[in-house]
Structure 1
Amino acid sequence: MIKPTPNPPAADDTTPYEFPGSKRFHDAAERALDHYLKPNALTLRFHKPSTMFQVAPDQDNESLLVHACESLAQASLMTSDIAAYIELPQRRTILAIQQIIMLAELAVNRALDNHELPTQN
């Protein structure tokens, strides 16, 4: 037999915040996030994206994949060289980064292998 609780806890439905200052903190956090993540229309109208490091839109996929593969190979080589000069705890981190780079390089190489060349008619 289940006995009902004689004095159930009172439900505080006035505020979901732990203390009065937390609402102010929450509101400030929301304003900060909105400032960075939701720019207003006026800001968007005058914002022009930088084109300093823009990839040319007429580049074909094969050229982009080859360049990515070469860049990843160089990054892997550089991390290997750095790991030779670093002590053990940091060396493990550098070698883990190198492994991630090598896995990305393998994925790009597979994409290159799967890439079909256009047929000449």
Structure 2
Amino acid sequence: MKKPRLTLIKNPNFSDSDALDLNELTQAVEHYRGVRQSNPRPPVPARNIYVVNPDIDARSLLAYASENLALATSIAADLTTQLEDPHRSVAYAIHRLAGLAELSLNQLLAKIEASESGIKPV
């Protein structure tokens, strides 16, 4: 089977003055490309969903972290009662790790308060 062959048919109504000048087209493209390159779109800034205010003091940050760990400990404790054995062990381990981290933060907060007040912690 033969493939059909495309042949260009010259339009009798088309004059040479209507023909597009390749040089003009090239100049137009280069002009707009140059404008685009000299003034590119500004990059979209990365947006942080959670940002910690750099003006917050260390004591407040530690207190906030301690509260969050207490919440995580509570949630993990609730999960341990609702899960079956293999998953219950994981939830219990998370509960213990969060509890230990909370205790460490609380002890650090106590040391900071003691150093600010001049009293040695017990």
Q: TM-score if structure 2 supplies the norm length?
A: 0.54
CA distance in 2, matches of 1:47, 1:104: 38
Q: How does 1:60-75 map to 2 (within 5 A)?
A: 60-75=57-72
* Equivalent of 1:57 in 54, 57, 65: 54
RMSD: 2.0
CA distance in 2, matches of 1:112, 1:67: 11
Which 5+ residue runs of structure 1 have no aligned equivalent?
1-45
CA distance in 2, matches of 1:47, 1:114: 44
Amino acid of the structure 2 residue aligned with 1:51: N
Higher-RCO chain (CA-CA 8 Å, sequence separation at least 6)? 1
Q: TM-score if structure 1 supplies the norm length?
A: 0.55
Identity of aligned residues (%): 32
| Structure 1 residue 106 displacement after superposition | 1.1
| Structure 1 residue 51 displacement after superposition | 3.0
* 4+ residue runs over 4 A deviation: 46-49
Task: Specify the structure having the higher radius of gyration (Cα).
Answer: 2
